[in-house]
Structure 1
Amino acid sequence: MIGTKCVSILFLVLLTFLEANAQLSKRFFRKDYTYLITTEAFYKIHTVHRTWAEAKQRCEMEGASLFYAETDDEANDVISWWNQTQPFYWVYVGISDLLAQEVYETIDGRPVLDVYSNWGPGEPNNAGGVEDCVILRRDGTLNDDRCDKKYPFICKKSLNTLQWNNECDMPNQDYVYNDALGRCYKFHTDPKNWTEAITYCSAEQSYLAIINSQVEDDYLVKLTEDAKKDGVSGLSLIGAVYLGFHNVDGTGWKTIKGTPLEDTGYPKWGNQQPDGGTNETCGSMFYTGQLNDVSCHHKMFYICEHDIKNLSGAIDERFNQLIE
């Protein structure tokens, strides 16, 4: 006869087993990525052409990496999906000889011979002595090419590297949830100009922060105060952080969502601000919380904001979806 204690232990073991297996069905990374069950990874074909360095950076901005096939099977599966969805004849992959001529390695330092390395006939040939980056053709062959050419590319996120920020319903672990506001925020200490800041926030499925209340302003002031800002290089202006409002088109101050600033709930400018006229058309916040106009080209800190849409069901509907 099995005792009550043993039954409880067996129940806990079974529950743990079921929960572990349920985790295997959690295959959501981002809405713009496709999960391939055969490779247990997420992929996105970027249709906007970029240089090799820009492609690598964009993938990293999205929490992924510039794709290279690790095996013949992965190459075949990704190429099959690519041929079904996009017309491009080649894409950049995460392989180059930028560190040492003719020493081809992946972006994470693996020798090309240790991964998929089906070179085309006569390749790599370093034509003209300027071909240091690698493309993958839709026929499955690799070719070296110039890194400054602009091509489409594929980003990849492996399932086994995926972590989930449950409070913010997103993969980015560095966003912090504020219970009073019901939103998540990230203070970026890598200085960017205003347009670049918008781009980085968007790549993280967020937007340049918009203040809608005194409570939110107080929180952003505290977030700014707590951020590690000392010793950061690349800053061209200190004392303020970029936010999501502007007067770029000269029709009045509005948020990046098109709402007039006076309708946001927090149109509190600093003393004698805005004062820059047509020379200062981007929005920022003084470290003390008041709004400030600033030239858009300055390299500054910035804050991204992430909305949690229908949090009660968001994870169940997307992240826990079963892949047949």
Structure 2
Amino acid sequence: MNIQLLIFLTALTTVFAVCPTNWSAHNDRCFFLSKDNETLAGALKLCQAIGSQYGRTASLATVDDVATQKFLENPVKQSGYHGFYIGLTDIVEEDTFVWISSGKTATYTNWGTIQPNNRYGNENCVVFRNEPGYVMTWTDDPCTDLNNYICEMATPLYKSKKLVSLQIIINQPSKMNIQLLIFLAALTTVFAACPAHWSGHRDKCYFFSRDNETFSDALILCEMLGAQYRRPASIATIDSANTQKYLANLIRHSGSNAYYIGVNDIVNEGEFVWISSGQNATYLNWGPDQPNNRWGNENCVVIRNDPGQGFDMTWTDDPCTDLNTYICEMPAAEIHIPILG
């Protein structure tokens, strides 16, 4: 008697498409060079939006080998522009540069002279430059600088699927064989609770930024960082005194005195809603005379560590366009994904 273990695999039939008008093809990717200037977060959001118009996933460009670098040099030169964001940052850990689209640490780089230098302590995003002193080389720049940008999306379109079965035949079943089958069936991949440079509290991971962003750009960057770990992320929710106390302790040792959190009254004045859940805030920790909507446009919330001004880990409502550091949040619970099932 044979025991047959059937593993069903999905084989994808691919059809390669031509890149759309105004996109340039290289290997299996299409590239688009913008004419407008954006912050890194704004550029990332627009790349994603443009890709969705073609039913494809797009991001800021990954330049991960010499061939891609050389290919892009010609359209960059022809564009007449001097600086393009590419999808590389060291937002999480200084000098560890990670590709936005894959979450992988860069192994190929093309730095210009004395780069990266983090000159002002906030240069966490990478720009592909073509100007005197930086001819087709890279620099690290503040993520809030306004630059052109290069989008990237895949060229193949997946048209059809077919199932292929693979048979593993085990002759003369024994206790060992049965144990092997049980092991294979139970095999899982387990994700760690919190990555490096994220702090764990209960079932959440928190990341404290070093760069200053508007509220909307902070939200985009939190989502970007979470995607690198294949988890949903947003600006932090502080919905209990316990979470407030935990984060306040970390803020005291952070070096920044103002962080965006994910509550706002953008829709209805005075009705504060958590951006990650859409639920009205029931726990609040306002500072003196807050919220006051002082200039009529203070719709986002900042947790402040400024005792001299009367704000000792308390909250203020601020304009959403102010540049502040921010706290990201994503799930910390272990995720078990069966390899065979």
TM-score where L is the length of structure 1: 0.47
- Which structure is higher in strand share? 2
- Which structure is higher in helix share? 1
